[in-house]
């Protein structure tokens, strides 16, 4: 089978969860013997070029996507309204000329929102994977505080009305969490008759169909390490992985750290970069931006991962990797985080430094509880195993 993948970011560009999943799809389907080619954004001044990334064939096409962060708000608004809605005809022709059997898409900002729909109109089956709330808010980021306001609701309604007709109706929409699927259902994205024979993955395995569902939930995949029995260290090492910014809760992490004695936490490793900085606490180890492999080792070696985001997160890659490594997590209750950690016993609290500090202290001070959480995380990670992921996705490739 020929499988085309269209995404606005693909390794080695970007470090987020969406591009990681796109790469795992490309690599995994290649291992299973399918012919895979990726189309991804490049720099605006680039010509469309082909290359190989970790053995995956990739075509980069010129796009302004990489410059969005440097644009003024007015310029970004113009980009989303006037430049990025219509299909990229050059990309439509290139993908169509390759004659794929199925098109897999991820975040499409910078790719021309209507591009996938145009390819689908030529008889190609289209499966879209949701990663965040980007379809209802081009930024893909809303804080918990903002999301509940009338203005946020009107903003999402505006973008749903503007973008919906251009985006079209995928044959299948995949979501890592039920929360994200429900979010798009509420905002009109899954009520368009888009899905033929919508099914729940678990029900599908049992041969049952749930016709009331309008999408499928397949948790994001993660590479599983060799199983190991872990023990908590005293005093402990905790980790923060992500952008050093207020929206990701880095300030809350720093505040929580000041409320924890050195007898509880002796070291706090910080991975990432951003507008904020941290000084004054000798326990902080600022590692900067690391490779995915190095980041994974930090998570594996930590006694606890703190995920204090204020943003409506879908299914944070760092939490899924912590599961696989058996590293307990203290996270804030945003988006699909509680669903992702369901059954692990890991604390999911409000965005509050004292509550986060209390949760960290309680987990690290009880060795038996820490061990239970570690084992429960490893057990929960089995639903993210790559074999399970591809087994679930295979059933929808050919309809």
Residue 322: its H or E element: helix 317-325
Per-residue pLDDT of the chain (399 residues; tens, 9 = 90+): 999 999 999 988 766 889 999 999 999 999 999 999 999 998 766 666 667 777 889 999 999 988 888 899 999 999 999 999 999 999 999 999 999 999 999 999 999 999 999 999 999 999 999 999 999 999 988 999 999 999 999 999 999 999 999 999 999 999 999 999 999 999 888 755 443 333 334 434 333 333 223 589 999 999 999 988 999 999 999 999 999 999 999 999 999 999 999 999 999 999 999 999 887 889 999 999 999 999 999 999 999 999 999 999 999 999 999 999 999 999 999 999 999 999 999 999 999 999 999 999 999 999 999 999 999 999 999 999 999 999 989 888 876
- Domains annotated for the chain, with CATH where assigned, are 2-222+385-394 (3.40.50.2000), 236-382 (3.40.50.2000)
- Sign of the Cα torsion 390, 332, 173, 12 reads negative
Sequence-ordered list of residues with C-beta below 8 angstroms from that of 48, at least 6 positions apart, any chain: 42, 59, 60, 61, 62, 90, 94
Give the CA angle between residues 297, 301, 302 to the nearest 5°. Answer: 115
Q: Specify the 3-state DSSP secondary structure of 240.
A: strand
Q: Tell me if 201 sits within 8 A of 215, measured CB to CB.
A: no
């Amino acid at each position: 089978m020929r499988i085309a993948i269209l995404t606005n970011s693909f390794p080695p560009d970007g470090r987020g969860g969406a591009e990681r999943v796109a790469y795992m799809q490309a690599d995994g389907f290649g291992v299973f013997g399918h012919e895979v080619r990726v189309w991804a954004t490049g720099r605006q001044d680039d010509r469309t070029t082909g290359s190989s990334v970790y053995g995956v064939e990739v075509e980069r096409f010129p796009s302004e996507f990489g410059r969005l962060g440097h644009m003024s708000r007015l310029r970004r608004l113009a980009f989303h309204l006037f430049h990025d809605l219509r299909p990229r005809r050059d990309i439509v022709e290139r993908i169509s000329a390759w004659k794929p059997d199925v098109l897999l898409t991820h975040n499409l900002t910078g790719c021309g929102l209507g591009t996938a729909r145009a390819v689908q109109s030529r008889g190609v089956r289209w499966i879209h994977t949701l990663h965040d709330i980007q379809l209802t808010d081009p930024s893909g980021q809303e804080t918990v505080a903002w999301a509940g306001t009338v203005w946020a609701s009107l903003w999402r309604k505006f973008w749903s009305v503007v973008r919906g007709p251009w985006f079209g109706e995928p044959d299948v929409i995949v979501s890592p969490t039920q929360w994200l699927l429900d979010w798009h259902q509420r905002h009109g994205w899954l009520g368009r008759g888009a899905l033929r024979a919508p099914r729940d993955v678990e029900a599908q395995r049992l041969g049952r169909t749930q016709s009331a569902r309008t999408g499928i939930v397949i948790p994001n995949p993660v590479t599983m390490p060799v199983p190991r029995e872990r023990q908590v260290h005293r005093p402990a090492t905790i980790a923060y992985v992500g952008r050093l910014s207020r929206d990701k809760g880095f300030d809350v992490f720093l505040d929580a750290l000041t409320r924890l004695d050195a007898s509880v936490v002796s070291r706090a490793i910080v991975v990432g970069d951003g507008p904020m900085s941290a000084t004054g606490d000798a326990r902080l180890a600022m590692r900067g931006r690391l490779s995915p492999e190095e980041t994974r080792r930090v998570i594996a070696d930590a006694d606890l991962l703190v995920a204090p985001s204020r943003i409506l997160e879908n299914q944070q890659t760092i939490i899924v990797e912590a599961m696989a490594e058996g590293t307990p997590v203290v996270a804030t209750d945003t988006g699909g985080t509680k669903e992702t950690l369901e059954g692990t016993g890991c604390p999911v609290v409000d965005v509050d430094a004292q509550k986060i500090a209390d949760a960290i202290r309680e987990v690290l001070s009880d060795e038996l509880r820490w061990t239970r959480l570690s084992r429960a995380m490893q057990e929960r990670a089995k639903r993210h195993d790559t074999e399970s992921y591809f087994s679930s996705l295979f059933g929808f490739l050919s309809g």
